Structure formats: C-alpha cells, structure tokens
Amino acid sequence: MYPQYTSAQVPAGLSIACRHVEAGTYRLPRADDHRITVHASAATRSYCSDAGRYFLRRAGDIDFVPAGQEGGFEAETSFDTKEVRLSPAMLERVASEIEGGIKARRFDTRHLLRDERIEYLVRALEADQKTGSPGGTLFAESVGVALAVRLLGLDDLETDRTVRLSDAQLNRVLEYVDAHLSEPLTIDTLSRIANASSSHLRTWFKAATGTTLHRYVLRRRVERARSLILGSDLSVSEVAYQAGFAHQSHLAHWMRREIGQTPHRLRRTRPGK
C-alpha cells in the first residue's frame, strides 16, 4: 500500500511532503517531478532488489529520483522521510540562468548521498510550511533555486566521509555479520573486514547505526533465532547454536531483553501450535 502523507504546496514547481512509512515495501512510482528524499529516522536497514544488497539508511541520508524514474526498497522497520518535489521546468530555468547558460543534463537515480546544504534547505522549507509560510513566495522560490543549483552540481557534491565509515565499509561489516552469525565474531575480525582500526570501527559504527557493534550483533542473532523458532522444528539448544549464542540460557536472556519473549513462549505462538 502506498504510504499516506501530508503535504504542503508551495509556489514555483516546488512541494514538500512528510511521510511515516511502515515496514515493508516502499515504492516511489514514476512521477513528472524530480524527487529529493531525506531520511528522518534512526538507522533503518533496507534491501535494494536492484542492487541485490542490504543498505543502512541513517538520519540525513539523501536519495534523489529524477523525473520519469522510479525507486524503492524493502525496509525492515518503519521510518520517517521528507520528500521534496522539484519540477524539471524549474531546473531548466535555473540552469539557463547560471553563468554560461549550462544545459540541465539527464540525471541518474542516486542513493545515500550526504550533503549538509540540501539537508538544511529541506529543513528550512519544512519549517516555513509548518508555521504558515511566513517567508512567502520569495522564500520558497529561493529554496527551490538553491536546491536546483545543488542538483545541477550533483557530481561535485562533497560526501561526508572524513569521520565515518564509508557506505562500502559499513555494508561489508553488515553483510559479514549476517553471513557468520553462527560463528564467533570478534572486533579484530570485523576491523579487518572494514579495513579500519578497532577503535575507529567501534566509534564510527555507533555513529552510523545509533547502536554499538556488540549490541547490533546480538540483535541480529536474536532476529535469526526468532526466525528459526517460528520457521523450523529445531530444538531451542540447536537454535541457540545456529544463531551464535553460547547456550540456551544465553539465548533466552537476550530474547527477553530484545523482544520480551522467551524461546519457548515464542514457539507456542506459531500457527498450528
């Protein structure tokens, strides 16, 4: 189901919408406008079928879907997002007015951009709309022009990679964790996977995901155990082993903390039980 949202229309081919999206399939169908979406929730793990891999969207991550193209992904948890629509006509006008009269080029879909200027402009537009548009048409048009300028220079945007894990590093760690949950996972091993020092990995992983590396691994193990309990007839001790827990009581302890249920109580909720 396409998510419900509230939007505020602003002049000059510009609009903003704030959405709360439930876990599951999130699709952006083809539209006549360019769309800029800014992730507005804590870290959200998602799967992109086009890329065939998992990604972690963090607050401030930006996706850009050009007019006529579609986008989307499978989100594991609900999230909030802000969507700005910018008409191609506005972009063409700004391109023609820039010194040298550059031609607005054909854009490609871009994911997980980091740009403080775009994020600031989207927040400013949202705040103006929430307070009844005191800035008027001039303010809205100014924001639209500034966004258009940033999009026209999209290839030159500086991404914030100086004090965080790159997307490639983070995805290598996430993929390795998922593929080796049943095995001992050490900070030294994961540091080698990320090609970062152990101290940097600890700090940067928490900055990227909002949780410590240790707690993330435990949560993924609980999720794996939950899936096995609901989807198989393995004994609880075998589930604990395959999910990477030291023993059955260790599994029960963390399941109670993470999802509020013991393995035996969860198994009784299976259909047919």
**3-state secondary structure string, 181-196?**
CCCCCCHHHHHHHHCC
pLDDT for position 235: 93
pLDDT for position 251: 92
pLDDT for position 81: 94
What is the 3-state secondary structure of the chain? CCCCEEEEEECCCEEEEEEEECCEEEEECCCCCEEEEEECCCCEEEEECCCCEEEEECCCCEEEECCCCCEEEEECCCEEEEEEEECHHHHHHHHHHCCCCCCCCCCCCEEEECCHHHHHHHHHHHHHHHCCCCCHHHHHHHHHHHHHHHHHCHHHCCCCCCCCCCHHHHHHHHHHHHHCCCCCCCHHHHHHHHCCCHHHHHHHHHHHHCCCHHHHHHHHHHHHHHHHHHHCCCCHHHHHHHCCCCCHHHHHHHHHHHHCCCHHHHHCCCCCC
The 10s digit of each residue's pLDDT in 4-28 is 334 444 445 788 999 999 999 988 8
pLDDT for position 122: 93
The 10s digit of each residue's pLDDT in 181-237 is 999 888 888 988 988 877 778 878 887 887 888 889 999 999 999 999 999 989 999
All CATH 1.10.10.60 domain ranges in the chain, comma separated: 167-267
| pLDDT of 58 strictly over 90 | no
Superfamily name and number for 5-156: Regulatory protein AraC (2.60.120.280)
Residue with tokens 């080796």, as numbered in its chain:
180
pLDDT for position 229: 93
pLDDT for position 221: 93
Mean pLDDT of 19-41: 91
All CATH 2.60.120.280 domain ranges in the chain, comma separated: 5-156
User: Could you give the angle at the alpha carbon of 204 between the alpha carbons of 200 and 207, nearest 5°?
Assistant: 155
Mean pLDDT over the full length of the chain: 83
Contact by Cβ (8 Å): 267, 261: no
Class of CATH domain 167-267 = mainly alpha
211 token code pair: 């949780």
Mean pLDDT of 160-172: 71
Residue 215 CB-half CA count within 13 A: 9
Q: Give every CB contact of residue 102 below 8 A, 6+ residues apart in sequence.
A: 95, 152
pLDDT for position 105: 61
| pLDDT of 32 strictly over 80 | yes
pLDDT class for 241, splitting at 50, 70, 90?
Answer: very high
pLDDT for position 5: 37
pLDDT for position 42: 83
pLDDT for position 238: 94
The 10s digit of each residue's pLDDT in 75-109 is 989 999 999 999 988 888 888 877 555 555 677 88
pLDDT for position 155: 62
pLDDT for position 118: 92
| pLDDT of 3 strictly over 60 | no
The rounded percent of the chain whose pLDDT value lies above 90 is: 33
pLDDT class for 1, splitting at 50, 70, 90?
Answer: very low
CA nearest 204: which of 161, 163, 244? 163
Sheet order of strands, 79-86 included: 5-10, 14-21, 79-86, 34-39, 62-65, 110-113
